[in-house]
């Protein structure tokens, strides 16, 4: 390889290494900023129209039908 090709190669390598470090630094700082923000507690819409007005943690009446055993003759 000629001297110019080696110089161009190392310049390209330095650009890629610098861009990688800059990207890593930005993503790390963005992650840390996101963790320091308070959690936004918005009202979540009810998953079903019949669940409107039911508060979180409120006990509901649940009906589960037991399997009937068939009698053998």
Q: Supply the pLDDT for residue 5.
A: 95
How many other CB atoms sit within 10 Å of the CB of residue 2? 7
The pTM (predicted TM-score) of the whole model is 0.48
Phi-psi sector, 49: left (phi>0), alpha (psi -120 to 50), beta: alpha
- For 42-60, what is each residue's pLDDT tens digit? 766 667 777 777 887 888 8
Position 62 confidence tier, pLDDT thresholds 50, 70, 90: confident
Is the sign of the CA dihedral 28, 33, 39, 44 positive or negative? Answer: negative
- For 7-47, what is each residue's pLDDT tens digit? 999 999 999 999 999 999 999 999 999 998 887 777 666 67
**Which one has a higher pLDDT value, 65 or 7?**
7
CB 46 within 8 A of CB 55: no
């Amino acid at each position: 390889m000629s001297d110019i090709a080696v110089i161009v190669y190392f310049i390209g390598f330095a650009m890629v290494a610098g861009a990688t470090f800059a990207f890593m630094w930005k993503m790390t700082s963005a992650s840390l900023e996101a963790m320091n923000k308070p959690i936004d507690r918005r009202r979540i819409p009810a998953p079903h129209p019949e669940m409107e007005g039911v508060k979180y943690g409120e006990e509901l009446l649940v009906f589960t039908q037991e399997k009937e055993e068939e009698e053998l003759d």
